[in-house]
Amino acid sequence: MLTRQQVTQTQARAAALLEAAGIMLTPDERVHLEVADFGLGDLDRTGLALVVYVNNDRYCAKELVLFPRQTCPQHRHPPVGDDPGKQETFRCRWGTVWLYVEGEPAQNIRAEPPEGGEAYYTVFHEVELHPGDQYTIPPNTWHWFQAGAGGAVVSEFSSPSRDAYDVWTDPRIRRIPEGTGDEAT
Amino acid sequence: MLTRQQVTQTQARAAALLEAAGIMLTPDERVHLEVADFGLGDLDRTGLALVVYVNNDRYCAKELVLFPRQTCPQHRHPPVGDDPGKQETFRCRWGTVWLYVEGEPAQNIRAEPPEGGEAYYTVFHEVELHPGDQYTIPPNTWHWFQAGAGGAVVSEFSSPSRDAYDVWTDPRIRRIPEGTGDEAT
């Protein structure tokens, strides 16, 4: 589990990166900036910070912040009831991000799966996104992504988020939001 | 109808404003940047420029650009079939925007309905948005908005857009996309 200090330091670092990308947050959003290490305790390599702008029963929008070479591990958004699964459009705002999805694998991928977790990365169709580039991930499709050497800011536009239903390749992963500010109140 | 020159000049001006706001477009998006004057032929006062990032059967995301004191006229998104009507979250990214929706009217509104069209502005509950501020407009709710003296950039996250069904208070309005680049091909 992340320490309170890790969370606040990471929140400040993420807010600074968003500001560099020209993205303004309210003071309340800064306090509630979410830090995820997916329960792996290796935040520098596996994790991300995010701001959820809106998540209602019709649509969702978030800002994702990845530090240099940080990875969001492989997962998919399965069907839930009438919902065919979350569909996501990633739009790179700042930096470089390599996105991997199902499909023809790249010969030499540019990202590097985090050491020790290699077995849990199985899709290698590579999509490189620079600012202004975007890609839509169909529902229930395995995907993972990693930032380039300078980190990345990615806007996510999607159908509603129901994180609890996400399926992760790595069985060690626990997706419990930390650092949303709620535990401090 | 807008002239080709008006469209290209407005596209360039909108792209410059987006760049000032730190928002990058691809060359293709710049060419397809949409300019709307709503058929009123008074673009400086009534109109907007927009980039549609994604509009599928589940969600929609756009960037809206308003020049100084430019107004998007009053309209609502009615129910269509099973859809209760488009729901929109406006997030101000740059500049100032005054949004007016149904509800308790402000005593003295800060925006000014465009001259000659005053009769078509009937909702005056005021929401002032600065960078980082956002507001969600329920489906089928009358609304209009105007930029402050420096213009504004607003991200719109929403359920799917079906512009053809929009209902406008001003019967003179025609909502035909112009300047999407398609007419030049």
pLDDT tens digits, residue range A37-92?
Answer: 999 999 999 999 999 999 999 999 999 999 999 999 999 999 999 999 999 999 99
* Chain B contact probe: residue of A18, A26, A59, A62 with most B CBs at under 10 A: A59
Instruction: Determine contact, residues A162/A80, Cβ cutoff 8 Å.
Output: yes
Q: How confident is the model at residue A176 (pLDDT cuts 50, 70, 90)?
A: low
- Report the gap between the CA of B158 and the closest CA in chain A (Å): 6
Q: Identify the closest residue of chain B to A85 by CA–CA distance.
A: B58
Band the pLDDT of B175: cuts 50, 70, 90: confident
Return the pLDDT at A178: 53
At A31 the three-state DSSP class reads helix
Chain B positions contacting chain A at CB under 8 Å are 21-26, 29, 53-54, 56, 58-61, 87, 89, 91, 93, 131-134, 136, 155, 157-159
Asked if B60 contacts B161 with a C-beta cutoff of 8 angstroms, the reply is yes
Predicted local distance difference test score (pLDDT) of residue A99: 98
Cβ atoms of B122 and B109 within 8 Å: the answer is no
- Mutation target among A19, A23, A51 for the B interface, most CBs of B within 10 A: A23
Select the residue of B25, B89, B155 nearest A132 (Cβ to Cβ): B25
Mean of pLDDT over chain A: 94
Answer whether A136 sits within 8 Å of B54, measured CB to CB.
yes
List the one residue out of B5, B162, B180, B156 whose CA is nearest residue B72: B156
pLDDT above 70: residue B177? no
**Which band of pLDDT confidence, cut at 50, 70 and 90, is reported for residue B185?**
very low
- Nearest beta carbon to residue A53 from set B25, B91, B131: B91
- The total of other beta-carbon atoms located within 10 Å of residue A106's CB is 15
